[in-house]
Structure 1
Amino acid sequence: MSAPESTTASTDAMPGVGARLRTLRKERGMSARALAEALGISTSAISQIERGVLQPSVSRLIAITDALAVPLASVFDAPVDTARDPGAGGFALQRAAQSSVVMLDSGVTFRRLSPGDTPGVDYFESVYPPGASAHGDVDLFRHEGYEVGTVVSGELTVDFESERVVLRAGDAISYPCSRPHRLHNAGAEDAVAQWLIVHPGR
């Protein structure tokens, strides 16, 4: 797994995400230095992300959750109404007003769609403003799992090593996340898409 991209200084704070990443790291008994080594970045960068000084890009956030072996949904703090214990055959319910959103580098936002724990599956919505990319440079990246996405509105471009795919409203795509790829919005309006990332074995 690699995610060769950068983070940028935050001008619009991303409440709670950095602190949540720090909590997840500590719960797993991993030091900031060990996480930094796993990601190929400095310990200082980890500290700045956890303190909310830097906003991680999409690929950096995914690389962190992969390194911690936690689902992407772990960074969201979405209250959930549970009528009955889902583990006992009940169901989980998330009202629209409870939807949790995080803002990342380049103004990309992620919104959690899964109403409760969904082991092995991340289900979320992404919004890429015009010109926004999954990370700060032109390199392709890879991560864990298998990805399935559907564009709801706008236009989203997926670059692979030898081809480029432009997705418009109603278009869908799937690919192993181990295949080097890059998502970006080359259009003139926000690109909204819904995604499933499946993590076999988790």
Structure 2
Amino acid sequence: MGLNDEVGRRLRALRTMRGLSLSELARRSGVGKGTLSELESGTRNPTLETLYALTTALNQPLGAVLSDDPPHPGQHEGAVSGRAVTAVLVERHEDDDAVTDVFRITIAAGATQESAAHVAGTSETLVILSGTAVVGDPDAPSTVGPGASVCWRADTPHLYSAPHGDAYGILFVRYPAAAL
């Protein structure tokens, strides 16, 4: 089963488990009903922004619609991309307090991605492996380089950019269990 099929199957299952129609999930997420239908049928490539909009409307972490199987180093299968960020889910940890999704990400040089607010209480922590990233609150972003990390609230709009070449990192997205 390919990424599109798996994402579609999981989206449909989450939507029906919540008792939502296509129209209602489309309304809550701001994603067009036709787009949602194509995603659920596996005929449309999902973007990072669209998946975040849908999973936020479903009160679920992004990892809920991505593969649970971590990729091998250098493998890009299972990657989802947005305007600037390409992310591969490498780990998902659940306990009584939170769900934490761990992604290997690439932030494309010169591009900026504005991410909408996620589920209430969500935070993100980025560790940069190489390159320089500008991330976090759009009004007061942080610049972070190799070996450094930064944490920000992700339940408000936030951004990612790499002004001086591609940036590579590990992103931890922590969703409080009480919000899911």
For the aligned pair, the TM-score class normalised by the smaller chain equals 0.7 to 0.9
Aligned length: 172
Which amino acid in structure 1 is aligned with residue 116 of structure 2? F
Verify: 1:19 aligned to 2:12, yes or no.
Answer: no
Structure-2 separation of matches of 1:111 and 1:133: 21
CA distance in 1, matches of 2:35, 2:3: 16
Task: Confirm or deny that 1:42 pairs with 2:17.
Answer: no
Aligned position for 1:103: 80
Q: Which residue of 56, 67, 70 corresponds with 2:57?
A: 67
Distance 1:42 1:14 in 2: 17
Per-residue CA deviations over 1:113-163 (Å, capped at 9, x if unaligned) read 23x54452222123225248675xxx5522221222222223222153323
Give CA deviations for 1:82-118 in whole Å, capped at 9, x if unaligned.
xxxxxxxxxxxx7959xx833234571222323x544
Alignment of 1:46-195 (within 5 A): 46-78=36-68, 101-106=78-83, 108-114=86-92, 117-118=94-95, 120-131=98-109, 135=113, 139=114, 141-144=116-119, 145-158=122-135, 160-195=137-172
- Cα deviation, 1:10-55, whole Å, max 9, x if unaligned, reads xx97452223212221222211110000012321121122233433
Contact 1:55 1:105 in 2 (8 A): no
How many percent identity over aligned positions? 20
Q: 1:131 to 1:19 in 2, by over 3 A?
A: farther
Q: With structure 1 as the length reference, what TM-score do the two structures score? A: 0.68
Is the 1:59–1:134 contact (alpha carbons within 8 Å) kept by the matching residues of 2? no
> What is the alpha-carbon root mean square deviation over aligned residues?
3.2
Q: Secondary structure at the match of 1:101?
A: coil
Whether contact under 8 Å (1:185, 1:191) holds in the other structure is: no
CA distance in 2, matches of 1:157, 1:54: 30
Q: Once the two structures are superposed, what CA deviation does each residue of 1:59-89 show, in whole Å capped at 9, x if it has no partner?
A: 321221121122322123325xxxxxxxxxx
**8 Å Cα contact 1:153-1:168 kept in structure 2:** yes
Distance 1:55 1:16, change over 3 A: same
What is the alpha-carbon distance in structure 2 between the residues aligned to residue 77 and residue 45 of structure 1?
21
**Contact 2:4 2:46 survives alignment (8 Å):** no
Q: TM-score, normalised by structure 2?
A: 0.75
